[in-house]
């Protein structure tokens, strides 16, 4: 079986020490669904359910892969309220864009965690892959869930146009770029946004823009980051790019430049948004309401901005690099 590395993610939102550094919580459940029956969780259509937040970039990655692999019929999905309960965390409420929980009738996602481990007391995170047969969490690691959807569930994928998001000939480069982009960009915006010292903030923010500048140069010569079509690295980058101007630029003080100020990155972002329905997975209302309302230590007024106006459907012109 193919597993991701053991990179530990900053949680959503990240917790901090007094020194402004993240208290990083490892994913609690990292069991594996296999296509060959070598684990207790076989890749059977209809057996598993995905719990997500449309606001969370880590969960968003799994939503995109589920869609691109045409796994919607094979793996159900429930969406939590983007505004977390202060005491219980992610909640299932019937607000616009959310679904409730038709599988278990949970009121809070925490119930899935305690059903799996009654002693669980740490932060509850999304995404969660739930096994409906044994009534437990298989994984709460977005890295692993993405990879399972890409590989283990490939036989359950529908449609003739399923794309290979983890091609064998590019795997070494995928892993290398994944790690660099995660450390300096995906997680870098959180390190900047939740910094509690000027030095910690500046270090993180400068790394964010150093990475964006490098990606801008790379994308001046090629349409996508690695292959002739988007692979998982592109989508791991996309979920941060699509939130950047609406949230990270202002709310997280990553305000040196916007993505719309980068000609190649802005075209690349629109290219991915328009790719095979990926834009249907983006909900800027959930994204903005979560960040601006939930992070009241950063935004104590909880006022959610009405902008910016972003036309992700405008022509991107990236075909010239195909």
Tokens of 317: 């012109």
Average per-residue pLDDT in the chain? 92
Task: Put the strands of the sheet holding 128-131 in their side by side order.
Answer: 76-79, 48-52, 128-131, 136-139
Check if 15-156 and 168-281+311-321 are the same fold.
Answer: no
Residues of the chain with pLDDT > 90: what percent? 86
Q: What is the pLDDT of residue 86?
A: 86
* Lowest-confidence pick of 3-12, 92-101, 258-267, 291-300: 3-12
pLDDT in tens, 106-126: 999 999 999 999 999 999 999
Say if residue 135's pLDDT is above 60.
yes
Q: What is the mean pLDDT of residues 249-259?
A: 98
Q: What is the mean pLDDT of residues 261-274?
A: 98
Alpha-carbon span 275 to 68, nearest angstrom: 9
From first CA to last CA, the distance across the chain in angstroms is 33
Catalytic residue numbers? 56, 190
Residues of the chain with pLDDT > 70: what percent? 92
Tracing tokens 């770029």 back to the chain, one arrives at: 177
The hierarchical CATH code for the domain 15-156 is 3.40.30.10
Taking the domains of the chain in order of start, what are their residue ranges? 15-156, 168-281+311-321
CA nearest to 78, candidates 124, 152, 59 = 59
pLDDT in tens, 83-100: 999 889 999 999 999 999
Q: What is the pLDDT of residue 84?
A: 93
CA nearest to 318, candidates 192, 223, 242 = 223
Entry pTM? 0.94
CB-count exposure of residue 137 (10 Å: 0-12, 13-18, 19+):
buried
Alpha-carbon span 200 to 185, nearest angstrom: 15
Say if residue 130's pLDDT is above 70.
yes
CATH number of this structure's domain 168-281+311-321, picked from the four choices 1.20.1050.10, 3.30.360.10, 3.40.50.720, 1.20.210.10? 1.20.1050.10
Q: What is the pLDDT of residue 15?
A: 53
Say if residue 11's pLDDT is above 70.
no
Q: Are 30 and 125 in contact (CB under 8 A)?
A: no
């Amino acid at each position: 079986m193919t597993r991701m590395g053991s990179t530990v993610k900053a949680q959503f939102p990240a917790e901090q020490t007094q020194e402004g550094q993240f208290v990083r919580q490892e994913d609690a459940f990292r069991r594996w669904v296999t296509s060959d029956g070598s684990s207790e969780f076989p890749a059977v259509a209809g057996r598993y359910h995905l719990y997500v937040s449309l606001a969370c970039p880590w969960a968003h990655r799994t939503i995109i892969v589920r869609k691109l692999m045409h796994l919607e019929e094979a793996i159900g999905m429930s969406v939590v309220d983007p505004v977390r309960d202060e005491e219980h965390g992610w909640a299932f409420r019937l607000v616009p864009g959310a679904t409730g929980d038709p599988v278990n009738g949970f009121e809070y996602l925490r119930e899935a965690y305690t059903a799996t481990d009654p002693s669980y007391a740490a932060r509850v995170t999304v995404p969660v892959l739930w096994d409906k047969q044994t009534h437990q969490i298989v994984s709460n690691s977005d890295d692993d869930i993405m990879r399972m959807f890409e590989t283990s569930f490939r036989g359950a994928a529908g449609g003739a146009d399923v794309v290979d998001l983890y091609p064998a000939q590019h795997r070494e480069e995928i892993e290398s770029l994944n790690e660099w982009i995660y450390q300096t960009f995906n997680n870098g915006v959180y390190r900047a946004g939740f910094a509690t010292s000027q030095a910690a903030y500046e270090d993180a923010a400068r790394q964010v823009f150093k990475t964006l500048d490098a990606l801008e140069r790379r994308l001046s010569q090629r349409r996508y980051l690695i292959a002739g079509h988007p692979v998982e690295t592109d989508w791991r980058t996309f979920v941060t790019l699509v939130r950047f101007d609406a949230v990270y630029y202002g709310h997280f003080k990553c305000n040196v430049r916007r993505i719309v100020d980068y000609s190649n990155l802005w075209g690349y972002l629109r290219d991915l948004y328009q790719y095979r329905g990926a834009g249907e997975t983006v909900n800027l209302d959930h994204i903005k309401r979560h960040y601006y309302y939930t992070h009241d230590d950063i935004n104590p007024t909880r006022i959610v901005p009405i902008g910016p106006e972003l036309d992700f459907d405008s022509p991107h012109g990236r075909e010239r690099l195909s």
